[in-house]
């Protein structure tokens, strides 16, 4: 199945049914009075997050989604039937934006989360509602309200704790295969990864985290080189970035330091907030070096942009277990800090109410 992470759709809620102007007419009943019923409400359009869906491919060609209109009211106090709502199932992590105003309508971050996209119109009132002591035979009724119409932009941002950055062929897919059950394609040529892959890294029976592998960046991605920036959005929700660098490049003349700086420049061009996320340096492919300690030291001497650094060999697992333990510890510390900050904020707000 092709991976689709953005789409544009139109949603149309149903119109409300019209109210009826009717009078009771039966044998032997004189001046039966008004009995026009109300119109039914139009159907609304909702979006619901579903963890069983991984892509927006269902909305690649099905661009228009319409709810039905409510039925009009009838005589004999008959109210029109309301139309059924329609629910559009979307992957967890979908951001829904109004294309015209730029307003974010919903950010579906939890399975089962539901959001209203277009509200159905209310049904009109029948003349039954307009009778009074001075108006015994009302002939007025109201029309149903129109339903909302919207043009929406859907954007999928995968939910992961850790994101992988690096040039093509830096070993990102090999690393995620080594530490998780994910099985992305691995080959000895660049751009083997063409869409994001997610893997669950289980450190123990109770502790695990999710890691995201995106297609590699190259210098000039901001201008559309390679696959451009189109998949960097999937790192927006991550809490930690791992920058993988091939410390033993296959081709002579390739400078790992220059490649690492190029990735950082592309990251900064794309989004300053993404650039400022916690970022660790991971030097990969130690198995191809005999004097790797000297190479690692020379590389680190030219960089001060990373919070921590690790040296691993993803192909044989060297150093990978220590890295995953360090990541798990870091994520737990971040969670504890966030919980403490939330508790302090709640105490301040409670104190402000007295």
- Sheet (strand 162-165) strand order: 197-202, 208-213, 162-165, 240-246, 279-284, 308-311
Q: Please check the confidence at residue 61 and state whether its pLDDT lies above 80.
A: yes
DSSP-assigned states of every residue in 98-138: ETTT--EEEEE-STT-EEEEEPPPPPPPPGGGG--SS-SS-
Going by pLDDT thresholds of 50, 70 and 90, the confidence category of residue 96 is very high
Provide the CATH number for the domain around residue 246. Answer: 3.40.50.300
Say which DSSP state 2 is in: -
CA 250, CA 246: separation in Å to the nearest integer? 9
Q: Please check the confidence at residue 340 and state whether its pLDDT lies above 60.
A: yes
16 contacts 44 by C-beta, under 8 angstroms: no
Q: Please check the confidence at residue 264 and state whether its pLDDT lies above 50.
A: yes
Residues 320 and 282 in one domain: yes
Q: Please check the confidence at residue 228 and state whether its pLDDT lies above 50.
A: no
Task: Report how many domains make up the chain.
Answer: 2
**Within a domain: 105:** yes
**Within a domain: 304:** yes
Residues 174 and 315 in one domain: yes
Residues 185 and 295 in one domain: yes
Range of the domain at 23: 1-156
**Within a domain: 233:** yes
Q: Please check the confidence at residue 236 and state whether its pLDDT lies above 50.
A: yes
CA 148, CA 53: separation in Å to the nearest integer? 27
Residues 330 and 223 in one domain: yes
Q: Please check the confidence at residue 187 and state whether its pLDDT lies above 50.
A: no
Q: How many CB atoms lie within 10 A of CB 299?
A: 18
197 contacts 234 by C-beta, under 8 angstroms: no
**The domain boundary residue, chosen from 156, 176, 211:** 156
Residues 199 and 301 in one domain: yes
Give the pLDDT confidence score for residue 182 in this predicted structure. 63
Give the pLDDT confidence score for residue 77 in this predicted structure. 86
Give the pLDDT confidence score for residue 315 in this predicted structure. 87
Picking from 168, 192, 70, the residue whose alpha carbon sits closest to that of residue 119 is 70
Q: Please check the confidence at residue 1 and state whether its pLDDT lies above 60.
A: no
**Within a domain: 113:** yes
Of 238 and 3, more confident = 238
Residues 168 and 48 in one domain: no
């Amino acid at each position: 199945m092709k991976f689709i992470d953005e789409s544009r759709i139109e949603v149309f809620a149903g119109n409300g049914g019209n109210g009826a102007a009717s009078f009771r007419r039966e044998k032997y009943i004189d001046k039966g009075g008004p009995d026009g019923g109300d119109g039914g409400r139009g159907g609304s359009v909702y979006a619901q997050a579903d963890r069983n869906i991984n892509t927006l491919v269902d909305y690649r060609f099905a661009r228009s989604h319409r709810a039905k209109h409510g039925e009009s009211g009838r005589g004999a106090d008959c109210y029109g039937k309301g139309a059924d709502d329609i629910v559009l199932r979307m992957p967890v992590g979908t951001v829904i934006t109004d294309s015209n105003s730029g307003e974010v309508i919903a950010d579906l971050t939890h399975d089962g989360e539901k959001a209203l996209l277009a509200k159905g119109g209310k049904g009109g009132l029948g003349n039954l509602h307009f009778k009074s002591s001075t108006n015994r035979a009302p002939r007025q009724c109201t029309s149903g309200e129109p339903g909302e119409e919207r043009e929406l932009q859907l954007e999928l941002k995968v939910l992961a704790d850790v994101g992988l950055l690096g040039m093509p062929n830096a070993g990102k897919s090999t690393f995620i295969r080594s530490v998780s059950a994910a099985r992305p394609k691995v080959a000895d040529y660049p751009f083997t990864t063409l869409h994001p892959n997610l893997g669950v890294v289980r450190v123990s029976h109770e502790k695990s985290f999710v890691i995201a592998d995106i297609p590699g960046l190259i210098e000039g991605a901001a201008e559309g080189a390679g696959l451009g920036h189109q998949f960097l959005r999937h790192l927006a929700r991550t809490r930690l970035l791992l920058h993988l660098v091939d410390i033993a490049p296959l081709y002579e003349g390739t400078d790992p330091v220059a490649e690492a700086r190029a990735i950082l420049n592309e990251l900064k061009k794309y989004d300053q907030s993404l650039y400022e996320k916690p970022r660790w340096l991971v030097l990969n492919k130690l198995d191809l070096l005999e004097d790797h300690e000297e190479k690692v030291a020379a590389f680190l001497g030219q960089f001060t942009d990373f919070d921590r650094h690790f040296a691993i060999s993803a192909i044989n697992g060297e150093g990978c277990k220590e890295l995953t333990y360090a990541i798990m510890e870091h994520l737990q510390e971040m969670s504890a800090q966030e919980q403490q900050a939330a508790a302090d904020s709640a105490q301040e707000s409670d104190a402000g109410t007295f």
